[in-house]
Structure 1
Amino acid sequence: GRLDSTNIITPELSVITNISLDHTNILGDTLAEIAFEKAGIIKKNIPVVIGEKHPDTINVFKEKAQAENAPIYFAEDELVIESSSIKDTSLIIDISKNGEDLFSNLALDLTGTYQQKNILTVIQSILKLRELGFIINDEAIYKGLKNVKAITGLQGRWQTLAKNPLIICDTGHNKAGITEVLKNIKNTNYQKLHIVIGMVKDKDIDGVLALLPENALYYFCQPNLERALPSIELAQIAAKHNLKGKAFVSVQEAFQNAKENANDNDLIFVGGSTFVVAEIL
């Protein structure tokens, strides 16, 4: 955003993904305030791609782009996902532009539901880079999207760690991220849901916990860092949202307890914080 150290760079293209209430102690308490900070990366005469439209943020981005004479593109206005499905371990997507097929059977190795938002941002950004003279052929796009994890080493994005029981982790840690996680859980077959969760103090704790299902068994934990919310406090706040479970002093202890309690047909989900996920990978 505006105060990020990387903002000293003058880019070829600026990209702003989704805006959610996160880091509110630094960025602001409303989507508009956060959007203002994110819009700080929009540079004079440099095109910008906005990944997701929201009524509270549209004008913030438009006004900043106009002030900087920066061409602005909202990805979801430019491109449409015509179909999406899961096949084996890939998310298969068809994308059109102006009513015509643009990319068919794009296979993504990142299969979370939120990738349907991310992919439009990625493709729109590639189209703008092509216009700027970068040579990026279709073969490179298909190959890159199919091998994101292998190429980048990215982990923790709706990642399956084991089966029987099914163990999945995701680094979603705010309301927007957890909302997408819950969509993925809803699309998953399981008998009983076990959730290993820890959070850090500067997040919207109540906002996240209010979204979580009451019928899951919870294993509250705390990652090994100063910012971690003590698991006892997390369990106490969760109880106000009718979430039941036990508190553990470490991520590993909570994770081990969940594995011991789960049956082969159950789902163990690990998340709530990037730091929690990092400790089990």
Structure 2
Amino acid sequence: MQYSEALAYLYDRLPVFHRIGARAIKPGLDNIEKLCAALGQPHTRFKAIHVAGTNGKGSTSHMLAAIYQTAGYTVGLYTSPHLKSFTERIRLNGHPIPEEDVAQFVTRYQNLIEEVNPSFFEVTVAMTFEYFARQAVDIAVIEVGLGGRLDSTNIIKPVLSVITNIGWDHMDLLGDTLGQIAFEKAGIIKAQVPVVIGEKHSETEAVFRSKAEQEQAAVYFAQERYDITDQGIQAGKRQIQVLERSTYGQPMRFELDLLGHYQLHNLPAVLQSVSLLQHTFPVTDEQLQTALGSVTRLTGLKGRWQVLRQHPYVVADTAHNKPGIQSLLEMIQGIPHRQLHLVIGFVQDKDIESVLALLPKTAKYYLCQAHTPRALSADDLYQKATGAALQGQVFPDVNDALAAAVAAASAEDLIIVTGSTYVVAELQDL
């Protein structure tokens, strides 16, 4: 079986979340346990950091991977979904899994796949574990797909668990209160495995403390340890000053190549994680600074405040829920511009109305849709946007929408492409 045939088999044979949404999910760990048992329990043969959260878990995972790569370790990185190629999901020292390995895995285990009848995501996770075990990684950074407690990745027992934050997303699956959502994410906390919580909130703190106490796991709220000062963007990198509250010694200074303002919320969890693992995976201050300034180069991360051109200033960002859009709007306020243009599209199962209510009415809107069955049609989005007093035009494709925005913009304008990972993924020049 060739790579293209293997991929077609996986997409055609198995339920895929990014195509059909919640119907693709098979809650529970039974299928992944069956797959991993047949594969020889590969998830037990490497050390891992497990990363969950409503927003920021992808960026946090990439930052951690970049840090340990720079420190000389062999690092596996698993994230989802991908933007351009399926192989992006599974990386070894920043390099995507070879297409031949994907094809060989599907060919070798086709009978097993048909016997277990897993989801697309479950097969992907099993493939990841088998690849990382075979490559004898020193450390793997594993991003949760959705939630935590019932996510297929939760079969691992990591050396560290990380929960970046809790916000409103996937309420149909995770619950309609922050406490319920936190309960699902807290499911990754394991017995006697320390857990880092990136952001502290009154509605969720008790949930994490209760689960950690139950599991006899030490819990660390990273926001309490570090004072973060944003010093703006200079020479194409965000300048950050970090002061550790327990010492109040000399501040640390970092230049982040991930420019989004929301990275200030992710950084404390990253620093806390590195500190906790220092005895097992030592990292020098110089390696830490080098890595955080080169995350995109080291790991291939795209779509997080990714600058596509300068005049007009065009940015792609995968913000796709209310907390993510709020952070994006904060970033926009700090960027000098004459007119704001928003190229935007969503999937159907988001709380579209609450997101549209956040958006500035003075912006010009270019409404589009991704080419996936989950996408909200551009015509439906137009109706919802009009109801929210937002003025815009409809385009069948994100590239057409962006071209129209660039044509209409002056050199001093700001254009943002956002609303859905799948919309950003279809940009030709990403």
TM-score range, shorter chain: over 0.9
Residues 260 and 92 of structure 1, relative CA distance in 2, 3 Å threshold: same
Report the alpha carbon displacement of residue 203 of structure 1 after superposing the two structures with TM. 0.9
Work out whether 1:218 is the aligned partner of 2:365.
Answer: yes
SS at match of 1:100: coil
SS at match of 1:206: helix
Task: Report which of the two has the higher share of helix.
Answer: 2
Superposition misfits of 4+ residues, deviation over 3 angstroms: none
TM-score between both structures, scaled by the size of structure 1: 0.97
Work out whether 1:65 is the aligned partner of 2:212.
Answer: yes
Cα pair 1:172 1:178 within 8 Å, conserved: yes
Post-superposition Cα deviations, 1:165-224, rounded to whole Å, max 9, x if no partner, equal 111111111111111111111111111111100000111101111100000010100001
Work out whether 1:275 is the aligned partner of 2:416.
Answer: no
Deviates more, 1:249-258 or 1:229-238: 249-258
Partner Cα separation in structure 2 for residue 256 and residue 92 of structure 1: 32
The residue aligned with 2:83 is none
The residue aligned with 2:231 is 84
Which residues in structure 2 correspond to 1:36-115 (within 5 Å)?
36-97=183-244, 98-101=246-249, 103-115=251-263
Post-superposition Cα deviations, 1:47-100, rounded to whole Å, max 9, x if no partner, equal 000001111111111100010000000001122124533212111112122142
Cα pair 1:95 1:102 within 8 Å, conserved: no
Aligned partner of 1:119: which letter? L
Give percent identity, aligned residues only.
48
Count of residues in correspondence between the two structures: 280
SS at match of 2:283: coil
The residue aligned with 1:161 is 308
The residue aligned with 1:141 is 288
SS at match of 2:275: helix
Partner Cα separation in structure 1 for residue 230 and residue 388 of structure 2: 36
Cα-Cα RMSD: 1.2
Partner Cα separation in structure 2 for residue 63 and residue 135 of structure 1: 30
* Uncovered stretches (5+) of structure 1, i.e. residues with no partner: none
The residue aligned with 1:120 is 268
Partner Cα separation in structure 2 for residue 156 and residue 194 of structure 1: 18
Aligned partner of 1:27: which letter? L
SS at match of 1:237: helix
The residue aligned with 1:15 is 162
Work out whether 1:184 is the aligned partner of 2:320.
Answer: no
Post-superposition Cα deviations, 1:95-148, rounded to whole Å, max 9, x if no partner, equal 1221423652211111111111111110001001114x2211112111110100
SS at match of 1:101: coil
Partner Cα separation in structure 2 for residue 93 and residue 114 of structure 1: 12
Larger Cα-atom Rg: 2
Aligned partner of 2:210: which letter? E
Aligned partner of 1:213: which letter? P
Aligned partner of 1:241: which letter? A
Cα pair 2:230 2:264 within 8 Å, conserved: no
Aligned partner of 2:269: which letter? T
